[in-house]
Structure 1
C-alpha cells in the first residue's frame, strides 16, 4: 500500500512539473507574441497603455481620498487631487503618455550612446581594437535617442521597436532557459531589467535591509567564513553613498578572493570612470570582513559545484591570471594618502595587487569592463550566464539574477547570506 502511494505521489509530482514546464513555455511564447504585436500594431497598444494608466489614476484618486479621510493625512489628499488633475489633463491630451515614454526611452538610448562614447574614447586613448563596432553602436543609440526626444509623440514607432525587441528577447531567453534547465545542464540565462532599474537597486537594498535589521537584528551575520569544498561564493557589496551606490561584486573560491576595480589613483581618470584595471587577490575572510567592518552591507550567494564545474572554474581563474603581473603599489607617490589600496595595506589585509599586460581586463570601464564582467568571466564556466543588454552590466543586474535563482530547481545557487555589522562606521 505504501509503495502504491509513493508511486502515485511520484506520478503527481512529475505531472505537476510537466504542467509547470508547459505553462512557462506558453508564457514565453505569449511574451514573444506581445513583443511582435507591439511593433506591428503600435496604435492599438498605445490605446491599451492609455486606458490602463487612466484606470490606475482613477484607482489612485479614490484610494488616497479614502486614506486621507480615515487617517486625516494632507499628503494623501494632495496625491489624490494630483492624480485627479493628471487624469483630467490626459483626457484632453491624447499624446501625453506617448510623449512620456518617448522621453524615457530617448534618455535610455542616449545613456547607452554615452556609454559607447566613453568606451570609444578609452579605445582611442589606449589604442585598443574594435573601434568600428563601438562607433556604429554609438551612432545607432545617438540617432534613436535624439529622434525620440525631438519627435516626441511622432516617434511612437521607435518606442514600440525598443519595447517590442526587449520583450521578444525576454521570451526567447525564457524558453531557452527552461529547456536547458530541464535537460539537466544547469545552464541558466537571464535578461536583466532595464539599466535604470538595476543600477539603482543596490541603494534600495541598503534602505530595505536597514529597516529589516531594526526589527530583527538576527537577520544578518557579522563574521565571514571562507568558501571551501565544492562551492563558489559571489559577494555583492553595497553602501548608500558616493560611487558605492552602484554596488560592487567579487568572487570567493577555495578561501581566496578575486576583486577587480579601478583602484589605482595614479593611473585612472579623476571621475574613476576608466583607468588601469587592478585585480585584488588574497584572503577571502580578511578582505570581506574588512568591508563588513567598514559599514558595507554584503550579500553572499553560495553556489554548489560539481567536480566538473570546479575544474572549469580553476581553469578560468588560471586564464584570468595568465596575463596578470604583480603590482607593487607605490604608496610614496600617492598625494592624498587616502586611497583604497593604502587603507587595505594599513589594515594589514592579506591581499596582493595585480595588473594586466594585455587582454580585456587591462583597462577598467565603469559600465562595461567592470567588477561584474570579471565575476561573470569566472562563474559562467559553471553554466550560469547573465545575458546583458547593450553590454551594460551592474551589480544590481547580478543581484536580481542571483536572488531569483536561490533554491530554484536546476540552479546551482544554494543559499543567500547577508553580512552587516550594526553600528559600524566608514573607515575612509
Structure 2
C-alpha cells in the first residue's frame, strides 16, 4: 500500500471522500437526530440574522429594496416565531423519516418480487431476498405509522450506509495505485449508490457532453468524447451505456460487445409483459457490433462506449461464461404481427422484429437461470453485463445483487481514471440528427 502523498489525484479524492463519509456516518449513528436538529436551527438563525441586518440597513437607508417593508416585517416575524417553536425541526425530520420509509418499502418490493420470480423459475439461493424484503417492509411500514417517523432509527440506518459506503471509497482510494496492471479474477463486494442517484448518471453524462458541444460547436460528440489511453493496445470488449434525453432510456440501458458481437438482455416480447412492462420473459439477443451501433443511433439513442482490454485468463473466463449463458437458451422468433407504438402513437413492429429485419439480430429465450424472467429493477440488462464481465473479476458486485446502469457507468468511469486498469478508452456514438 502506498502512502497518501504517493497516490494519484483520484486516489486522494477517494480517500478524503471515504474519510468524510465515514466520519459523518459515525456522527449520525451516535447522535441520531441531534446533529440534523442543530444544523436546521443554525440555518433558521442564520436566516433570522440576515433578515435583521437587512431590516436595519433599510431603516437607516443604507441599501435600496423593492420589497415593501410590511412584507419584510412579516417575514422577520415569521422567522422569529419559527425559531421559537419545535416545528422548525419536527417537520423536516418527519419528512426525512417518511422519505426513508418509502425508499425502504420500495427496496422491500424489489426483494420480494425478485424472490417470487426465483421461486417461479426454481432459482437458488433465494432466502436472503425474502428475509431482506420482510425486514425492510417492517421497517418502512412501522416508520410510516409512527408519529415521529422513527427519525432516530432512520438516521442510524443512514449513518450505517454512509459508513459502509465511505469505507468502500476509502478502500478504493488506498489501493488505487496498487491495483494498477493487476489482472485478478477476484470479485469484490462494494456498496452501490442509491437507485435514485444512480438513475441520474447516464443522462447527466449526456447533458455534460451536450453542454460542451454548445460551447465548442466546431467539434462533434465523437471528437469531444473519444479518449484512449496511450500504449493500451486494441480492446477486447466494449460495454455500451444507452441513453436518450427522455423516456425509459434516460436512466440508461447496458449491453456489451465481445469480438465484434453484441450481446444484450431485456424484455423484448410484449406478449409476455405485465406490470406495465416492468416484467416479462427474459430475452437475449446478438448482433454485429458496427451495424448495431448504427441501428441504435438511427433509433435516437446515444451510446457511451467503454473499451476494455483483457488478459488471456480473463478472455477464457468471459468466453466460458458466454457459452454457459447460451446453453440456457433456445431460439425465439419475433413476430411481425406483434405491434408497438412509436413516439407519435402510430403502430409499428416491435423493437425485436425491427432489429432482426434491419441488421439480422438473433433472439433467444431462456429455459432456466436468473435470466428466465426479466424484472426491470433486478434481473435486468445489467445482470447480463455484470455476469459476463464479473467472470473477469470486476469489482462492481453489490451486496444486494441489484445494480443500476448508472452504478455500472460510475464504476467504469472510475476504472478509466486508473492509468493501467482494464478500461482503456471511452467514446460516444451520437444519435443521428432528427431521429
TM-score category (smaller protein)? 0.7 to 0.9
After the TM superposition, which residues 122-133 of structure 1 pair with which residues of structure 2 at under 5 Å, given as runs?
122-123=117-118, 125-126=120-121, 128-129=123-124, 132-133=127-128
The answer to which of 355-364 and 316-325 deviates more is 316-325
Judging changes above 3 Å, is the alpha-carbon distance between structure 1 residues 152 and 373 closer, same or farther for their aligned structure 2 residues? farther
1:237 counterpart residue number: 242
Judging changes above 3 Å, is the alpha-carbon distance between structure 1 residues 83 and 302 closer, same or farther for their aligned structure 2 residues? farther
1:182 to 147, 155, 178: 178
Confirm or deny: 8 A CA contact 2:234 2:309 kept in the other structure.
Answer: no
Looking at structure 2, the residues matched to 230 and 181 of structure 1 have their Cα atoms a distance apart, in angstroms, of 22
The offset of 1:424, in angstroms, is 3.0
Judging changes above 3 Å, is the alpha-carbon distance between structure 1 residues 174 and 255 closer, same or farther for their aligned structure 2 residues? same
After the TM superposition, which residues 177-256 of structure 1 pair with which residues of structure 2 at under 5 Å, given as runs?
177=172, 178-179=174-175, 182-184=178-180, 185=182, 190-217=190-217, 218-221=219-222, 229-256=234-261
Looking at structure 1, the residues matched to 122 and 387 of structure 2 have their Cα atoms a distance apart, in angstroms, of 23
* 1:41 aligned onto 2:31: yes
The offset of 1:32, in angstroms, is 3.4
The offset of 1:263, in angstroms, is 0.5
Q: In angstroms, what is the RMSD of aligned CA positions?
A: 3.8
Looking at structure 1, the residues matched to 80 and 430 of structure 2 have their Cα atoms a distance apart, in angstroms, of 44
TM-score (norm 1): 0.79
In structure 1, stretches of 5+ residues that fail to align are: 1-12, 63-69
After the TM superposition, which residues 76-87 of structure 1 pair with which residues of structure 2 at under 5 Å, given as runs?
none
TM-score (norm 2): 0.77
Confirm or deny: 8 A CA contact 1:304 1:413 kept in the other structure.
Answer: yes
Secondary structure of the residue aligned to 2:277 is coil
Looking at structure 2, the residues matched to 59 and 339 of structure 1 have their Cα atoms a distance apart, in angstroms, of 61
Judging changes above 3 Å, is the alpha-carbon distance between structure 1 residues 144 and 61 closer, same or farther for their aligned structure 2 residues? farther
1:292 counterpart residue number: 297
Deviation by residue 1:73-115 (Cα, 9 ceiling, x = unmatched)? 99xxx9xx99997897466322233112112211111111222
Looking at structure 2, the residues matched to 232 and 314 of structure 1 have their Cα atoms a distance apart, in angstroms, of 11
In structure 2, stretches of 5+ residues that fail to align are: 53-62, 227-232, 341-346
Secondary structure of the residue aligned to 1:406 is helix
1:263 to 260, 264, 268: 268
Confirm or deny: 8 A CA contact 2:123 2:369 kept in the other structure.
Answer: no
The offset of 1:30, in angstroms, is 5.6
The answer to which of 284-293 and 319-328 deviates more is 319-328
2:349 counterpart residue number: 338
2:56 counterpart residue number: none
1:384 counterpart residue number: 394
* 1:397 aligned onto 2:407: yes
The offset of 1:276, in angstroms, is 1.1
Judging changes above 3 Å, is the alpha-carbon distance between structure 1 residues 15 and 212 closer, same or farther for their aligned structure 2 residues? closer
* 1:16 aligned onto 2:26: no
Confirm or deny: 8 A CA contact 2:7 2:177 kept in the other structure.
Answer: no
The offset of 1:334, in angstroms, is 5.8
Deviation by residue 1:282-335 (Cα, 9 ceiling, x = unmatched)? 201111221111111211112232333222222222222221222233334668
Deviation by residue 1:3-23 (Cα, 9 ceiling, x = unmatched)? xxxxxxxxxx98831698799
Judging changes above 3 Å, is the alpha-carbon distance between structure 1 residues 96 and 294 closer, same or farther for their aligned structure 2 residues? same
Looking at structure 1, the residues matched to 118 and 404 of structure 2 have their Cα atoms a distance apart, in angstroms, of 21
Looking at structure 1, the residues matched to 394 and 77 of structure 2 have their Cα atoms a distance apart, in angstroms, of 47
Confirm or deny: 8 A CA contact 2:274 2:280 kept in the other structure.
Answer: yes
Confirm or deny: 8 A CA contact 1:186 1:410 kept in the other structure.
Answer: no
Looking at structure 2, the residues matched to 203 and 59 of structure 1 have their Cα atoms a distance apart, in angstroms, of 40
Looking at structure 1, the residues matched to 197 and 261 of structure 2 have their Cα atoms a distance apart, in angstroms, of 32
1:164 counterpart residue number: 159
Confirm or deny: 8 A CA contact 2:253 2:381 kept in the other structure.
Answer: yes
Looking at structure 2, the residues matched to 142 and 283 of structure 1 have their Cα atoms a distance apart, in angstroms, of 44
1:417 counterpart residue number: 427
Figure out how many residues of one structure are paired with residues of the other and give that number.
396
1:118 to 89, 113, 120: 113
1:369 counterpart residue number: 379
> Higher relative CO (CA 8 A, sep ≥ 6), structure 1 or 2?
2
Judging changes above 3 Å, is the alpha-carbon distance between structure 1 residues 132 and 189 closer, same or farther for their aligned structure 2 residues? closer
Q: Between Structure 1 and Structure 2, which shows a larger proportion of helix residues?
A: 1
Deviation by residue 1:200-242 (Cα, 9 ceiling, x = unmatched)? 33344444443333333424129x9xxx944321110012333
